[in-house]
Homo-oligomer: A and B are copies of this chain.
Amino acid sequence: MHISPGTKVSLPRDITAGSAIWEHGVENLPIILVVEDDHLVSSVVEESLVDGGFQTTIASSGENAIELLDASDGKYRALVTDINLGRGGIDGWDVAKHAREIDPSFPIVYMSGKDADDWASKGVPNSIMLAKPFAPAQIVTAVSQLLNASPPTAPTE
């Protein structure tokens, strides 16, 4: 994995046990790519997902997210992205489209406050929009619903 500036990797607390259980090593636990430029929000999202047993990688800009996806080689199992990603020209809609160009069945969860209404015209098919404010349980359920509905494929190496 290419770790560019703005990337943060989080492991679930019971990572040693998990690694032993799945016998695939740490890098094969389900990793969710979270794209969020607000540290306060990303830490809440991260904590929710880690509590649910997911690993997370945090990208703090759209550019960073695109880089990680391009270098991921199937590493990530789902994308959770804010819409408005600040300074750069790449927003959450763009990141999601890029992820779906790489993998047409990639699970996508958008988070947004004021842009939630644009989901019907700018979102991708079979994605979920979480309108802020949402409860942590909603994000864990959203990611799980999409992963559970995905056609099963062999775990990526």
Q: Which residues of A contact B (CB under 8 A)?
A: 12, 17-18, 20-22, 24, 28-30, 40-41, 44, 48, 51-54, 97-98, 100-101, 104-105, 112-114, 116-117, 119-138, 140-145, 147-148, 151-155
Number of copies: 6
Q: A135 — which chain B residues lie within 8 A by C-beta?
A: 12, 29-30, 52-54, 144
Q: A12 — which chain B residues lie within 8 A by C-beta?
A: 135
B125 adjacent to A152 (CB under 8 Å): no
A151 adjacent to B120 (CB under 8 Å): yes
Q: A116 — which chain B residues lie within 8 A by C-beta?
A: 152-154
Q: Which residue of B lies closest to A40 (CB)?
A: B21
Q: How far is the CA of A127 from the CA of B123 in the complex (A)?
A: 11
Given A22-B133, A131-B153, A137-B144, 7 more A-B residue pairs with CB atoms under 8 Å apart are: A12-B135, A21-B40, A22-B113, A30-B135, A114-B154, A117-B152, A120-B124
